[in-house]
Structure 1
Amino acid sequence: MSIVILGVDLGKNACSVVGVDAAGAVVLRRSMRRQTLIDYVAKLPSCVIAMEACCGAHHLGRLFAARGHEIRLMSPEYVRPYVKAQKNDDRDAEAIAEAASRPTMRFVDLKSEEQLDLQTLHRVRSRLVAERTSLINQARAILLERGMIFPAGRRKLEAGLDVLLADGADACLSPRMRQLVGELRAEWQVLDARIETLNGEFVETARHDETMRRLTSIPGIGVLNATALVAAVGNGSGFNKARDLGAWLGLVPRQYSTGGKARLFGITKRGNKYLRTLLIHGARAALPSLSQSDTPIGRWLKAMIERGVHRNVVVVALANKLARIAWAALRKDVRFEHSYPVAA
C-alpha cells in the first residue's frame, strides 16, 4: 500500500482519513482520533496531506510538515464540487484527496503561530466592538422611550450620557432606569478599555515588524489594516496577481458580457468580510485628503468624482486599489511611493 495523497476531514474529536495511490484508487479508509492521526502520520512515508482550511488545520499542518510531509490546505468551497452523493465524513475526506490532486486547485498558505495569534486578537476585538455597538443601540432605545434624543455618533452619546448621569435627579428617568443607564455606561467603559488595550497591542506589534511598517506607509492602511493583512495573507505569496487578492476580498466588481460589451456590477461580497470592512473604512477615511492631493491616486480619484461616480463606488474602488498596492508592497518588499503612476 503506497499512499500518495492522504485526505483528512477534520472533526472535533474524530477525523475521517482517506488515502489514495498514484492511480487515484482508494487504498485506505479509516476514522481516527486526533492523537491517533498524529501518531499514524508520524510513521507514514512522506506524502501529500490535504485538509480543508478550517479550525485546527494550520496546527496539524505544522505538525505534519515538521515530519516531512507536503501540506495542501484548500478552501471548503473549492472542495464541495468533488463531494459525491450521500454526503458523509468518509466522502468528504475522499473529496478532499481528489481536490488536492487537481493541477488548477488553489491552496491556502500554512499560517505560522504568530499569524494565528494576530488573527485571534482581531477576532476578539471584532466581538468586543460588536458588543459595544449592541450596548449603545440598547441605551439609545431606552432613552428614546423616555423622550431623550441624542445626536448620531458614539462620542456625542458618550458625552450626553455623562452629563445626564452627573446632573442628579431627572424627571424623564425613574430611579431604577437611572441606575440601569449607569450600569450600561459602566459596562460601556469596560468594553472601551478592553478594546483600547488590544489596539495598543496592535500598535506595539506593528512598531517592531518591518513588513507592517511598510504597509502603514500606504494611505488608508493603518495599524489595524496592516496587522490584519499580514495575519491573513503573510507575504502575499498565496496570490499570483494583485487582482487575485482583490477578488478574494470581494472588492472586484462582477463582470458580465452582453452583446460583446463588458458590464460591471456590484462587488461580490465574497471572501474575507473582516478584511474587506477594514479596507473600506480605511479608504473612506483617506478619501477626502487623497482626492485633494496632487498625486497619481489623487488625480484618479478626482477624475472619478468629477464624472459623478457615487461616493460609495469611489470608496470601494479606492479600497480595491489599496489592496493591490498592499499586495505589491508585500511581494516586492518596498514602501509606498506617492508619485508612483497608478493604473486607471
Structure 2
Amino acid sequence: MKSEQRSEEIFKGKTIYLGVDVHRKSYQVSSLHEGQVLGKSVRIDGHAGALLKWARNRYKGAELIFGYEAGFSGLSLSRHLREAGYECHVLNPADIPSTNKDRVYKTDKRDSKKIAYALMNPYSNYNYQIAPWAEQLRQNVRGALRLNSDISRLQHRIKQNLYYLGLNMPRTARGWESWSQASREQIRQQAQTGGHLAIHLWLDQLEQLLGCKQKMWQDIDQMLLESPLQCPYELLQTLKGVGKILSATLVTEIIDMRRFSSINKLRSYIGLTPGETSSGEQVRVGSMTKRGNRILRWALIQVARRVMDSDAEIAMRYAQWRKQCSHDHKAIVKVANLLLGRIRSMWLKQEAYRSPYSDLSAGRLPSEASSETR
C-alpha cells in the first residue's frame, strides 16, 4: 500500500511517453520522461487490457501518452486506449528517426524506444485516425479492389494455358480479347472437349469471383449512399468517365478533404510530388517519390486517363504537355495534378464538375486564343 502511494506521489502530474512495439502475441513497451528512459523495456501480453493494467499500476497519477507504428493491427489498439481516456498516436514507420546502429542491431526494445522518443518530439507527424464507419467503408473498397486483382490473375492463368495448349482465345469483332459470358462458355467447351480439368476448374472460380464482385460493389454503393460521404461520392461521378468504382476509391481513401489545408499537402499525401536533392545554389528536382497513398495515386491516374478521353479541354492540355515531356506518364501526372485541384474544389464547395472551358470550337484553349489576340 505504501509503495502504491509512493508511486502515485512520484508520477503525479508528470507526462510519461509509452512507445509500444506491437506484435500479434505480445507488446514491447518502453517508457520515457523528460528524455530519460524509465526502467527497463518490458514485454506484456498483446492486448489493450493488459497494456492499460500495466501502465496504470506502474505510473499512477501520471499523464500517459501512448504511441505505436502503423501496421497490421490498424487502429484497434488506439481506439481502445482513447476510449479509456488516454492519448494515443499512430506513427508512420518511415518517419521515426533511426540511426545506423538501430538498423544494424534491430530489436523490439530499440523499436519501442524509438517510438517513445518520436512521441516526445514536438515536430513529429502522426497518422490521421479515421472513424470506425469510415474504416469499414475503406476496407470494403480495398477488399473489392483486391477481388478485381484476383479476377485478372485468374484470367491471365486461363489465357496462358490456352496459348500453351494451342487453343484459341475468344476475341471481339475488333480483335480484342473477350471475357464475356459467351466467350467464357466457348472456353469451357474447348476445355471439356480436350479434357482440360484445370481450365474447367479455373472457369468455375472465375464465375464465382465475378458474382462476388458484382454483389460486393452493389453493397458498397448502397453503404456509401447512406453514409456521410454520399455528397462527394455522387459529385465525383459528374466527372465524365468516372464511375462508381473510382469514385468510391477516392472518397474512402480521402474521407475528409478539410484535413488538407492546401492542395500541396493533398498532393504530398497522394504521392504526386517530386523528390528533391538540392544543396547550396544547386537545385535538383527528381522523379516522384514512393511516399504516398498508392491506391489513391492509382485511382487518380485512372481518373486522368478516363476524363482525358471524354473532355476536350483535358485532351488538348494533355497533347500540349505530351510535346513538352519526354515520357507519356509525365504528361498523365500533369493531368492528374490538374484534376486533383478541381476535385478538391468540387468537394469543398459541394458543386458538380463543370469544365472552365466549354467552348473549344477553335481547336485550342481560350487562354492561347486570348494571348494571340493580345
Q: TM-score, normalised by structure 2?
A: 0.75
C-alpha deviation, 1:95, in angstroms: 0.4
Matched, 1:191 2:203: no
Q: 1:134 to 1:298 in 2, by over 3 A?
A: closer
Measure, in 2, the Cα distance between the counterparts of 1:208 and 1:333.
Answer: 20
The residue number in structure 2 matching 1:119 is 138
- Give the corresponding residue for 1:227: 248
Give the alignment partner of residue 6 of structure 1, picking from 7, 18, 22.
18
> Is it true that 1:141 corresponds to 2:157 in the alignment?
no
For 2:157, give the aligned amino acid: Q
For the residues of structure 2 that align with 1:237 and 1:65, how far apart are their CA atoms? 23
Cα distance, 1:288–1:277 mapped onto 2, change above 3 Å: same
* CA distance, structure 1, for counterparts of residue 342 and residue 119 of structure 2: 31
Aligned counterpart in structure 2 of residue 248 of structure 1, from 255, 269, 276: 269
Change (3 A) 1:156 1:13: closer
Alignment of 1:249-264 (within 5 A): 249-255=270-276
SS in 2 for 1:47: strand
What's 2:127 paired with?
Answer: 108
Cα RMSD (Å): 3.3
Quickly say closer, same or farther: Cα 1:105–1:300, change in 2 above 3 A.
farther
Q: How does 1:14-163 map to 2 (within 5 A)?
A: 14-21=26-33, 23-28=34-39, 29-33=41-45, 34=47, 35-41=49-55, 45-81=62-98, 85=102, 86-150=105-169, 151=171, 155-156=178-179, 159-163=182-186
Name whichever of 154-163 and 89-98 sits farther off.
154-163
Stretch of structure 1 that moved more, 215-224 or 239-248: 215-224
Take 2:352 and 2:56, find their aligned partners in 1: how far apart are those partners?
45
> Is 1:200 the equivalent of 2:218?
yes
SS at match of 2:130: coil
Correspondence 1:335 to 2:351:
yes
Deviation at 1:321, TM superposition (A): 3.3
TM-score by length of 1: 0.81
- In structure 2, relative to structure 1, the CA distance for the partners of 1:95 and 1:40 (3 Å cut) is same
Alignment of 1:182-331 (within 5 A): 182-218=200-236, 219=239, 222-255=243-276, 265-290=286-311, 292-293=312-313, 300-301=317-318, 303-305=320-322, 310-329=327-346
Paired amino acid for 1:133? S
Distance of 1:57 and 1:181 partners within structure 2: 38
- Please state whether the residue corresponding to 1:288 is helix, strand or coil: helix
Larger radius of gyration: 2
Q: Is the 1:52–1:96 Cα contact (8 Å) retained in structure 2? A: yes
Letter in 2 for 1:162: E
Q: 1:112 to 1:154 in 2, by over 3 A?
A: farther
Deviation per CA, 1:112-152, whole angstroms, max 9, x where unpaired? Answer: 21122123223322332222122111111111123234347
Report deviation, 1:41. 4.7
* Count of paired positions: 330
1:8 aligned counterpart, secondary structure: strand
Cα separation, partners in 2 of 1:249 and 1:91, compared to 1, 3 Å:
same
Identity of aligned residues (%): 19
3-state SS in 2 of match to 1:72: strand
Amino acid in structure 2 at the alignment position of 1:31: R
Q: What is the rounded CA distance, in whole Å, between the counterparts of 2:52 and 2:262 in structure 1? A: 35
